[in-house]
A and B are shown apart, each in its own frame.
Chain A
Amino acid sequence: MADKKRAFDVTTLPGFTAIAITAFVLLYAPIITLVFYSFNGGNSVNQWGGFSLQWYVVAWNNEAVQDATARSLIIAVWAAVISTALATMAALGTTRRGKFKGQTVIYIIINQPLMVPEIVTAVALLIFFSSVKIATGYSGLGYLILAHSAFCIPFAYLPIKARLEGMDTAMETAAADLYATPWQTFRYVTLPLLLPGVIAGAMLAFIISLDNVIITEFVKSAGQDTLPTYMLGQLRRALTPEVNAISTALLALTVLILTVFFIVTKKRD
């Protein structure tokens, strides 16, 4: 040992800290590079041409990007609202009531989108919705909203369930003791206490919907690109820092939402 007098630290394992630091550097270096080149004044993604916001301006004025962004946001808001509402109900139905028959079945169905490979779900929805499209003649954003709402449910469900499990049932008992009807108990006691979980769930659902590529790619009809599928299409062409600019904007939005998420979930601990 180099330093004989150093205290023996039981949590130290040889080389672990070095590998961990390397892992963090490797995780962040590509993202930082990507963000860096979004401010490139030149035309290339790898030749630095001075600091400039020109690619943000290009992206902002690009009609396809505008459309895709609007579509992404519409779908994400709908998906977040629907999935959070349904997940809240399901969490209330499956938590703090003791075990009941078929509970495991409910868990499996709710968490199924986390287990099945996305490509399989995407293919399944492609087959199913293409027949429905032919049968009904409707080919609007409804399919995407429906699909996004479905796979967002488990992401909204988890924080809400965790929040519920941490809540004391004595609160509701006390409310009932003080003459509150079941509805009043829910409205004035359960829901306010549950709110941080619901907000956290909605934020996760929003991010998950906003980021989705594969299912969107398979379900969308012609001309229904979202921001990620638009970018996927762009990657096949000659790259300009415009993609970096769009990526950076999306990244900033994600970090912002996550920060709020952490503050919301931390504050009540």
Chain B
Amino acid sequence: MTKQIAIDARNVGKIYGVGVHAVTALGDVSIAIEQGEFFTLLGPSGCGKTTLLRCIAGFETPTSGSIHLSGRDITYTPPNERPVNTVFQSYALFPHLSVADNIGFGLKMQGKPAKEVKAAVERVLALVKLEDFAKRLPQQLSGGQQQRVALARALAPQPEVLLLDEPLSALDLKLRKEMQSELKRLQTETGITFIFVTHDQEEALTMSDRIAVMSAGELLQVGTPHDIYDRPVNRFVADFIGETNFVEGTVEGSAVRIGTGDLLDVTLDGHSGGVTLAVRPEQVSLRADGSGIAAQIVAATYLGTDTHYTLELGDKSLLVARIQSNSAGGMRVGDAVGLHIDAGAVQVLSA
């Protein structure tokens, strides 16, 4: 059974300005986002993720390509006629309206009868656990509460797609963690398609069903968090998602010879010639007996459960290893150690 497609972006491009001043915000992006999916657009600031989101919301019109919602072309539909709602980064709560009036705004604008609006507001208030704050003004709420109101306001009209533009960026760490699980719960309960924009890879990994990694207006990789973390398609994705060591090498037969002269037996996937190996710090282990690749510890950072060791190899290149603190057994800066790489987990990238 194939899943229904909620948002289908086809070859969407967006160029600002003309001539020599033209800036390409979106190159040529095609994504199909499934119904009921928690989909994340991930990338550094300026990568085009917010532009894409605003094209879906209707605040920007693509210069080329088209956007379809449940099979209907909405490329030029004004935002107030799209069954799509946005949770704004700044929340954009109406300062002159109470929490209840903010939440009921969309339904009221749609011309729903007052009774229906009231019932919907109560239902959504319960959903975000703000029943006691209905009469307050937005300024009288904490940041976390304002965030919930913004969420409730966008959910109340029961949109087909909910867009979230870095909604957690203004919250402190603890609140952000709470809201992450809260968002996930709301998405499961309502079954609405969520399109979430963030530059925080950890947030993306923990919450999403699928992630699209973007850079410089281009889509680099679309996949599940596992796909993206374990099998990044290129150096940018590997670097952006989690911590990664990059080791240069040359293919020799079925193995790769790295700068120190050692041979690593990795899965080549048809690569040949010069390659880059993406090695996650947790895929590196250290042996006090010196077996494996010779290395010297040049720095150690204690992180609680884990310790980060910076190692200098024979060719003076540096590598970071992440070792469980209780198994590190008295290794300290200056020690010569042997280094092992879990070759089966190493991702080979074209150099």
Contacts and interface: CB of A to CB of B under 8 A. Distances in A.
Given A4-B76, A5-B76, A10 B61 contact: no
A179 B28 CA distance: 65
Interface string B58-102: 111100000000000000101100000000000000000000000
Contacts of B60: 7
B65 to A, nearest CB: 13
A8 interface: yes
Contacts of B61: 5-8
Contacts of A10: 59
Contacts of A6: 61
Contacts of A8: 58-59, 61, 78-79
Nearest to A5: B76
Contacts of A7: 60-61
A10 to B, nearest CB: 7
A94 B122 CA distance: 50
B304 to A, nearest CB: 41
B34 to A, nearest CB: 27
Interface string B33-68: 000000000000000000000000011110000000
Interface string A1-36: 000111110100000000000000000000000000
B127 to A, nearest CB: 28
Nearest to B60: A7
A146 B104 CA distance: 60
Interface in B244-285: none
Contacts of B59: 8, 10
Contacts of B76: 4-5
A10 B60 CA distance: 10
A10 B61 CA distance: 12
A190 to B, nearest CB: 36
B167 to A, nearest CB: 20
Contacts of B78: 8
A131 to B, nearest CB: 52
Contacts of B79: 8
B78 to A, nearest CB: 5
B86 to A, nearest CB: 12
Interface centre among A4, A6, A7, A10 (most CB of B within 10 A): A7
Contacts of B58: 8
A10 B79 CA distance: 10
B118 to A, nearest CB: 29
Contacts of A5: 61, 76
Interface string A35-74: 0000000000000000000000000000000000000000
A5 B60 CA distance: 11
Nearest to B63: A7
A48 B251 CA distance: 92
A3 to B, nearest CB: 9
A4 B66 CA distance: 14
A10 B78 CA distance: 10
Nearest to A1: B78
A5 B76 CA distance: 6
Nearest to A4: B76
B116 to A, nearest CB: 27
A231 B45 CA distance: 63
B202 to A, nearest CB: 33
A144 B61 CA distance: 63
A256 to B, nearest CB: 36
A125 B298 CA distance: 86
Nearest to A6: B61
Nearest to A10: B59
Nearest to B80: A8
A258 B1 CA distance: 73
Given A5-B76, A8-B61, 6 more contacts: A4-B76, A5-B61, A7-B61, A8-B58, A8-B59, A8-B79
12 contacts: A4-B76, A5-B61, A5-B76, A6-B61, A7-B60, A7-B61, A8-B58, A8-B59, A8-B61, A8-B78, A8-B79, A10-B59
Q: Which 8 A-B pairs have the closest CB atoms?
A: A7-B61, A8-B78, A4-B76, A5-B76, A8-B58, A8-B79, A8-B59, A7-B60
